[in-house]
Structure formats: structure tokens, C-alpha cells
Structure 1
Amino acid sequence: MILVTGASGFVGSAVIARLARDGAETRACVRRSDICMPDGVHAVRVSDLTASTDWSEALAGVEAVVHTAARVHVMDDLATDPLAEFRRINVHGTLNLARQAAAAGVRRFVFISSIKVNGESTKLGAVFSANDLPAPLDPYGVSKMEAEEGLREIAAPTGMEVVIIRPPLVYGLGVKANFATLMRAVQRSWPLPLGAVHNQRSLVALDNLVDFIVICQSHPQAANQTFLVSDGHDLSTTELVRGLARAAGVPARLLPVPVWALKATAALLGKSDAVQRLCGNLQVDISKARRLLGWVPPVSVDEGLQRAVAGREDETNI
């Protein structure tokens, strides 16, 4: 039996769908009882992810946990103490679940962390690796790092195997936030000042991430390892816009505005962080996943972008 937390979320719902197609015995943790699950998937209602949550019903008979539930990174966080809020759920809630899982005899705990544990950016030509010293710069990244550390401390004396996965930006069917905004702009053929951005960024298609998660919950060599995951093909922001345009069947309307001009304008508008994400570099090394697990991303970047755009078009037509 595999337990998936965050089963109604972007990643969790995709993991549930994949496990159901594979015929795996699966239990889904949901916060509302009216959420529909695929045939054969049993839903268990868990009200919240906190340090006091009782997981006994959800963990009964479970061999592996895939933990996708989290307080996710948000722009313009309105919390008075963002780090405390992230810790409440991502650290204390996660470690409470892990302790109960170990006590219940769960064999393996797969934790979906974040590349933000490594940091926010890389120098051009350099890459993040799973062996780098953590260097998170925001409360979300700090909370994920602290959860990782706590999970390793729980694993050592209990024998529960922990697998940590740090994805970069995930895109695919149902993606929201900044990536969805960019897709919408491309689909509407808006002119974008991103035609001269020659950075390199690692992304991961949702289907590739899900495939890797499924492998990690069972592969013997994944036990007690930390992995970075991506599509294995990095893109500049200019190339990303062109790829989205191809997927949408529209022309890419790109204006070759120099990066220095974008940054100067963003500084005046108080949007420096947003432009840094568009223009900066963030590359990850997935050679460890290839070497230890023999994993190859099953979905190409072009196919991943097509699936993301098709999902966006379906939403628009509803």
C-alpha cells in the first residue's frame, strides 16, 4: 500500500493518477471528502498537516509514503512571520507524519523537497548537485532544508528509508502561478521583451517528476538518497517562450530587449525578483539519478510543453 499526501494538489494528483494506472494499491490523503479519486484509490480525509495531526488511520497497512503536501512558495506572502508558517507545516507537520510512519512500520518515505534548498541561482555553466552544501535564501527553502534534516534524523535510528527529491520549477497539466501567466501571454500572442535572454534554466515536466517519484518509492538504490531531477535539457527563457509558442501553434512575438534594460526597468518597478527568475541561471545535475537508478526522463521538453499548453487550452474552453 502506498500513501500519497497532498493528493488533490498539482503533483500529488498526478502521482495518484499514475499509480492508479499502474494498478498499485494506493491510499490518498485529502482535506475534503468531496474530492473524487480514480477507481481503486481509497481516499482518507486528513484535516491538516500539523505537529498534532493523527495519521493512524491513513498509515494502517502502508509500506511507502509519498509526501507531496506542503505550504508552497508564494509570492507576496502576507504572513506576519513567513518562516514560522512554513515551519509549522513543512517542518513540524512533515516530521510528525514521518515519526508516526516509522512507528507504523512504513518501509520508505519519499519527500518532495525543492531545489531552493540548494539556492536560488547558479553561475552560467555551473550546476547544482545533490552533494552541494544547502544554501537556501528564503523561508520556503529554509523550511524544506530543515524538514530534510529532520527526516534523516528520524531515519537513522528507526530504519525507515528516506528518499529526498529536489525538483526545480515543475510545469504540466494544471500548472499555475508565473508559468501559467507566461503561457497565457504566449497563447494570446502578446509581444514579450524576452527575445535576448541567453540564460540556462532546468525545468521538469510534471510527467517526468511523477515517473521519478514512482521509481524512487520502490527502487532499492534510492534508499536514503537525495536526488535532483529535471528534464535533462536546459532552456533559456527565450527558448522557453519559443517552445510554448510552437506548442500553442502561435507565432512567438519576442522583442530583443537587452537583459540590463529589463533589470533596470524591474528595479524601478520593484520587480527585481521576478526578472531575476526570468533572466537568471538555475541548472541542476541529474547524473546521480541516471547512474544509481538508470533513470531517463521519459517525456521530452517539447512534449511536456505541449501537454502543459493543452491543459491550459482545456481550462479556457470549459
Structure 2
Amino acid sequence: MHKTSARLLALLSLLQSRRDWPGALLAERLDVSPRTVRRDVDRLRELGYPIVTFKGPDGGYRLGAGAQLPPLLFDDEQAVAVAVALQLATAAGAGIEEAAARALTTVRQVMPSRLRRRIDTVRVTAVGRPADRPAPTVDTGVLMAVSAAVHDHEVLRFGYRSAEEEVLRRVEPHHLVAWGGRWYLVAWDLDRDDWRTFRADRITPRTPNGPRFTPRELPGGDVAAFVAARFRGAPDPGPTSGADWPCRGEVILDLPADVVSQYTREGLVEALGPDRCRLVLGSWSWPGLAAALGRFDADIEVVGPPELKAAFAHLAERFSRAAAS
């Protein structure tokens, strides 16, 4: 039989591992009597753990949600996962950076030495946006309000700020996502009868929320593919092609393939020799693609399509005018 303190930790661990525990099964797992289980449950309640008793033939216990956060018990893998996630949260742009850093310090202090060593070997430095394009911080209250509306399927009303003005929007919120260092709301715009993405740092929720709604099916069914497609200029992604760029071209660069591959995350690079390579790359527009290829500062041979050649000619005229001005 476990000592009382060890038995309480074992009981708490079991209650966290599944939703409902019949009292007889808990007693069997802990090798104690049902009466001892009842006493141990009462002790945990005194420590702040909200344990609910449920009735029935197999009546038992359930760990519920309380008004305050009681001490938590993690296994080794959970503790490491929490520590790594807190390190990443310091660059989340959600206004929780300081709280995440303090939480990480707290978690680390109570870890056994073997886990602290594991954490120290996988220290993560979360790097935000460059200083010339700082990531906007989103108020935690805004994220919570938007998340609640998404979860409850309630129409969300909010003021949406632009450079010129703030306008009132009414949407059916579907997903809150992080993309490129910013938070976005993916929603069905009720006034424009279309899907839209909104930057969360420009949202000012208005209360109360509107009525509940039945969620619509997101085009393509995959929120990651949908958001990627929208930022690439594709208005209505399909199940498989939604994440593709609307403009895709092929060129030959007078640069080694290993050099080019370091600076293109989504392009296809093929070595043609020690100092030449083939690059297939996409963009949201043909001028945008030509400009992206021009940044390699090397001679370029356009393989196709004709729209890419025309875009290079268009940019050449524009740059010539800029150089002459």
C-alpha cells in the first residue's frame, strides 16, 4: 500500500488520465478500499482540486474545472512539451510574452534535475520579425473574445481599423490562426457574402455577440491551405490545389543550386552544373515573381511562361524610369 502522500499523487495522476473513473476501479488500481479512495478524494478537494462525484451503478469521480488553477502533475514528456511550448510563446505576438517567460521559470524550478537537463539541451530561441517590420502585439483579451465566439459559433461584431478609418464588420468566425508572426481571423463576412481574413491586431470586439450560427464548410476543407491560398492570391482554393501559387515560372540562374536553395523555401531547385541551376518558383503576381527572382543578383534565363518574360520587361522599364529620375 502506498503512503498517503504518494497515494494522493497516484490518485491525481489517474484522475488526469481519463474523464470518468468508477470508484471500485480506482480502489483496485491503488490497491486500497473504496473508503480510502473517498478519504483521499476529500484530501485533494481540500488542496483545491475540483473533483466531482457522479452517481450511477458504477458511480465514481471526475476531475473538473475549478475557479482557480490547482497544482498540476505532468509526466516527463508532458513537462518537456510544456517547457518547449512556453519558449515558443515568447514570440507569439499574443501579448503573453512576459507571462510565458515567468511560467517557464516556474515550471523549470519544480522540475527534477533530469528533466531540467533535457530542457537545457533543447533550449529554443524564438525569433520574432526583423526590427524594420515588428510583429504587432495582439491584446490577450481580443484573442480570448474572438476564440470564444469561434468556439460558441456566435456572430462576432467588431470594429476593424485600417489606415484611414474603422468600420463595423459582422462575421461568422470560424478559425483563429497564426501566420507569419501575425494572428488572423478566418470568417464568413455577412455583409460581403464571402470568406475574409482579418488581422487580429486591428480588431476591436463589440458586445454582445450576435446569434448562434451553423458553421459553413471552409473552401477546400483545410484552414492552413485556405489561408496560404488567400495570401498567394487564390480566391477559392480546391481540396488539392488551394495551396498553389496563381503564377508559377521557370528560370535558369547562374548560381550554384546549394546557394539558391538556401534562399527559397517553396521553390524547386535543380542543379545543372557547378554554377548553374534551374528554379521553379511561384508568386501572387507575375511582376511579384519577376522581382523575387531578381533578388538573386545573377544572370537569368527565362524558360517560361511568356507572362514571366513580359513581367521582366515591365519591371525593366519601371526600373529604368526610376534610375533616370
TM-score (norm 1): 0.25
Higher Rg of the two aligned structures: 2
More helix by share: 1
More strand by share: 2
Q: Which has the higher contact order (CA 8 A, sep 6+)?
A: 1
